[in-house]
Amino acid sequence: MNIKQINAEDALPVRHQVLWPEKPIEFCCVDEDATGIHFGVYLDQRLVSVASIYIDGAQARLRKFATLNDYQGKGIGSALIEYVLTYLREYRIQYLWCDARESAGSFYQRLGFKAFGERFFKSSVPYFKMGLVL
């Protein structure tokens, strides 16, 4: 497994395939992608998991975290998030938060994230805000 920084354009196909395959690929873009920091996991030269972070002062937001379906449940996504957490701690970021799909809540909880606020929806998919003090 090789984890490294990538560009947003490389992350887009994985985002699209996993998160919003029924929407146009542009739906998977984030306005701040040009200023975000993007990470990817490669297995045998194939990009299988991606995550993007957007730093604002002492906090960061995780967005568009996705692992290809065939690679889920194998610890790849957890390894990527742990890598991101190490990166953020090196830069003295104190808090990481995300909009987590309700279906992924237990994944984030295992990594120490706590849910806050009320459930909300994006295109009929239920979400919770979740955060982690670094």
Identify the CATH number of the domain in which residue 11 sits: 3.40.630.30
Determine the pLDDT at residue 22.
93
Q: What is the value of pTM for the model shown? A: 0.93
Q: How many domains does the chain have?
A: 1
> Does residue 48 contact residue 76 with C-beta atoms inside 8 Å?
yes
Backbone φ and ψ of 81, nearest 5°:
-65, -40
CA dihedral of 62, 109, 77, 2, whole degrees rounded to 10: 80
Express each pLDDT in 85-123 by its tens digit: 999 999 999 999 999 999 999 999 999 999 999 999 998
> Does residue 40 contact residue 50 with C-beta atoms inside 8 Å?
yes
**Structural domain boundaries enclosing 27:** 2-133
Task: Report how far Cα 56 is from the mean position of its chain's Cα atoms.
Answer: 16
Query: From the DSSP assignment, how many helices (H) and strands (E) are in the chain?
Result: 3, 7
